[in-house]
Structure 1
Amino acid sequence: MTVYRVVVLNDCLNSVPLVADVINRACGVPLAEAVTLTRQVDSEGQATVGLAETRQDAETVAARLVGFGLHARIEANRE
């Protein structure tokens, strides 16, 4: 069961192509899906880009995203 979500937040600093590239590289999401998630971040202000079974795994993914300059947070999965 997945209990943590990694969420990328919209910001005014990073371009759409950069965010898509980072989601692709840092989360292992296929590029087409990363572009779709980036559009969601841009339009809705956030998107879930990863799921993890442990908080440590979620923190690892979030740290990768932050390392590339994105804003990310971890949420408990309520689904």
Structure 2
Amino acid sequence: MSVFRVVVLGDRLNSKALVTDVINRACGVPLAEAEHLTRQLDAEGRAIVGLAQTRQDAEVVTARLLGFGLHAMIEANR
């Protein structure tokens, strides 16, 4: 069971196309799923884009997202 969730938070700065591309490339999410997550992010203001077994793994993915200008954080998966 994964212990940490990587969450992207919505913002008004990044285009939907950019967010989809970053989720696809930085998280390794298939394109169709990245598009779905982007729609969820737009509607709900947040989307879980990855699960990790360790905090270090979650931090690596979060750092990639932050490097592309997205707002991301790590949550414990309870």
TM-score band, normalised by shorter chain? over 0.9
Task: Give the count of matched residue pairs.
Answer: 78
CA RMSD of aligned residues (A): 0.4
CA shift at 1:68, angstroms? 0.4
1:22-69 per-residue CA deviation (whole Å, 9 max, x = no partner) reads 000000000000000000000000000000000000000000000000
Give 1:7's aligned residue.
7
Gap runs ≥5 in structure 1: none
- What's the TM-score once normalised by structure 1's chain length? 0.97
Structure 1: 4+ residue segments shifted above 2 A:
none
Amino-acid identity (%) = 77
Give the TM-score taking structure 2 as reference length.
Answer: 0.99
Whole-angstrom CA distance in 1 between matches of 2:77 and 2:15: 28
Structure-2 residue corresponding to 1:47: 47
For structure 2, the 5+ residue unaligned runs are none
